Amino acid sequence: MDKNVIKFSEQIQKALGDKLKSFVVYGSAATGEVYKHSDFNTLLVLDSIDTAALKAISKPVDAWVKKGQPVPLIFTLDSMLASQDVFPIEFLDIKENHEVLSGTDYFKDMNIDAANLRLEIERELKSKLIRLRQSFILTKGNSGKVKVLLVRSLSTFLALLKGIIRLYGKAAPSKKSDIIDAAPAELKLNGELFKRILSVKEQKSEIEAGEIEAVFSQYMTEIERVADIIDKK
C-alpha cells in the first residue's frame, strides 16, 4: 500500500481515536493499479458524525486534498448500511476491491441487492457525460488539459462499466484492461478507444496533440451511446 495513504490513515486514526470504526482504501489503490493520475479513494466509518469529528480531521484531510486526492467518503455504520440501495455500483465495487487499514471490515460480509443497478448506472453515465462536456469547455481546447481530463475520467467510466457487466449477469474483473475486454457484446463497445486512453494513463503510450480533440469526441460519443443502451434495457 502507498506510504502516503498509510500516513493519511494514521493521521485520521490519531485525530479521531475510538470514534473511527473503519478506514477503508478502495478502487485502484486496493488492486495495485496505481498510475500517475490515479486517485486514492478512501472511506471512513465513524460511530457518530458531528461538527467536532469533522473539525478534528479537517487538517489532515485538507493536506490530503492539496496533494490532489479526493475527500474521503464518511458514514456512520447505520447510514452506510442504509445506503446500499442508493449506491449499489460503489458499494459492490468497494466490496470486491478494498483494503482495511484500520478497524472492522464491514464490506466483507455485506449483501448488496443489485436490483437498483440499472437506474444508478443510467443516471451516472448521463451525469458523467454532462460533466465531461462542462469540463471540456473549461479546457478551452488545450490539448494538455484535455488529455488530463481523458485519463482522469477513465477510471470513473470503467467503474460504471463494471456495474454494467454485473447488470448483464456476469462477474466483473478488477483489472482495467480486463474490464474493457469483458464489456457485454450488446454494447458493441469501441474497446480499442478505451484501451488507447488506458495506455496513456499507464504511461505506455501517448496521443499526439493534434489527435486529442478527435479522441475526446469519440470518447463522449461512446459514453452517450452506452447510456442510451442502458436507458432502453
Which CATH entry fits the domain spanning 115-232: 3.40.50, 1.10.3470, 1.20.120, 3.30.200?
Answer: 1.20.120
Among 29-33, 100-104, 110-114, 229-233, the least confident range: 29-33
| 181 against 2, higher pLDDT | 181
Task: Report residue 34's pLDDT band, with 50, 70 and 90 as the boundaries.
Answer: low
Tens-place pLDDT, residues 212-225? 999 999 999 999 99
Q: In what order do the strands lie in the sheet containing 73-76? A: 73-76, 41-46, 20-26, 98-103
β-bridge partners, 45: 22, 75
Please indicate whether residue 157 or residue 31 has the higher confidence score (pLDDT).
Answer: 157
C-alpha cell at 2: 502507498
Average pLDDT, stretch 184-191? 96
Q: What is the arithmetic mean of pLDDT over 140-169?
A: 94
Residues, the chain: 233
Minimum mean pLDDT range among 7-11, 94-98, 122-126? 94-98
Please report, for the chain, the start and end positions of each structural domain, with discontinuous segments joined by +.
Answer: 3-103, 115-232
What pTM did the predictor assign?
A: 0.70
Q: Are strands 41-46 and 73-76 parallel, antiparallel or unpaired?
A: parallel
CB 97 within 8 A of CB 26: yes
Give the tens place of pLDDT for each residue, 43-77.
999 999 999 999 999 999 999 999 999 999 999 99
- C-alpha grid cell, residue 22: 473503519
85 to each of 34, 80, 126, how far by Cα in Å?
29, 10, 19
Mean local confidence (pLDDT), 183-196: 97
**Pair 24, 99: CB distance under 8 Å:** yes
Lowest mean pLDDT among 9-18, 45-54, 105-114: 105-114
For residues 193 and 219, the answer to whether their CB atoms sit within 8 Å is yes
CB atoms within 10 A of CB 149: 20
What is residue 30's predicted lDDT score, i.e. its pLDDT?
59
Using the structure block, give the residue that is written with the C-alpha cell 493520475: 37
Instruction: Report how far residue 152's alpha carbon sits from residue 201's, in angstroms, rounded to the nearest whole number.
Output: 8
CATH of domain 3-103: 3.30.460.10
Q: Are 160 and 172 in contact (CB under 8 A)?
A: no
The pLDDT, as a whole number, for residue 115 is 76
Binned at pLDDT 50, 70 and 90, residue 97 comes out as confident
The pLDDT value given to residue 29: 61
Q: Are 84 and 113 in contact (CB under 8 A)?
A: yes
Q: Is the backbone of residue 99 left (phi > 0), alpha (psi -120 to 50) or beta?
A: beta
